[in-house]
Amino acid sequence: MPLQAKPKLYTPEAYLLREDDAAERSEYRNGEIIPMAGGTANHNRIAGDFYKQFPTEISGQAYEIFIGDMKLWIPAVELYTYPDVMVIKGEPIYHQDRQSTVENPYLIVEVLSKSTRQYDQTDKFDAYRTIPSFQEYVLVDQYSFWVKQFAKTTSEQWIFTELVGKDAILQLESVQFQIPLAHLYQRVKFEKDENEG
């Protein structure tokens, strides 16, 4: 059996230099640069619907919301990634003063696809949980009315809630905000499964 070639490893600095000039986005995972799959129409509709409906102020607290192109740096696992939607409570903490990269998400929303479903629910969630500010994780399926919600409790436990069906309502635990799945899936068409996103 032939030996598999070891992947080329990069420093975080080398990745950032490449990423600044790259036509396509990539993740940085502990030295490896991993190309990211392209998005589908449904993927973009779902992320956009959450982004559009989330308010910037709730009960006197200010929030910033970022979609798609904002990088997240997770130092504990040496990961640069692009969450679909990030909500930050208060002011963003920019990594190395780079306005394109933050370190302190409060809530993250990922839209699941066939190619990323397993990773988003396992290794990526493990990485997100190392972030001190991180309080809630929402995973939205793009092929049916189906949402998985993980909320961190005051005792550092994670509580799982599953929402299924058009009439279900996503009630966030970390923020006083709710959205019916019918609104989250506006204009989404389920006629056929799409392979990437």
Q: What span, in angstroms and rounded, lies between the C-alpha atoms of 124 and 5? A: 25
Q: Does any domain span residue 120?
A: yes
**Could you tell me which residues come within 8 angstroms of residue 176 by beta carbon, excluding any fewer than 6 positions away?**
58, 59
To which residue do tokens 């005051």 refer? 154
Q: What's the maximum distance between 2 C-alpha atoms anywhere in the chain?
A: 63
Q: Does residue 47 lie within any of the structural domains? A: yes
Bridge partners of residue 164, in order along the sequence: 146
| Average pLDDT, rounded, for the chain | 92
Q: Which residues of 31-66 are buried (b: 16+ CB within 10 A; e: fewer)?
A: eebeeeeebbebbbbbbbbbbeebeeeeeeeebbbb
- Alpha carbons 76 and 73: distance in angstroms, whole number: 9
Domain presence at residue 31: no
Q: Does the pTM of the predicted model rise above 0.85?
A: yes
Quote the pLDDT of residue 38: 73
Q: Is residue 60 part of a domain?
A: yes
Q: How many domains are there within the chain? A: 1
Task: Summarize pLDDT for 88-113 with one digit per residue, the tens.
Answer: 999 999 999 899 999 999 999 999 98
Q: Is residue 12 part of a domain?
A: no
Q: Does residue 191 lie within any of the structural domains? A: no
Percentage, residues of the chain above pLDDT 70 = 94
Q: Residue 170: which domain range? A: 39-184
Domain containing residue 134: CATH number: 3.90.1570.10
Residue 148 within a domain: yes
Residue 81 lies in a domain: yes
Confidence of residue 197 (pLDDT cuts 50, 70, 90): very low
Segment 142-153, tens digit of pLDDT: 999 999 999 999
pLDDT value, residue 52: 95
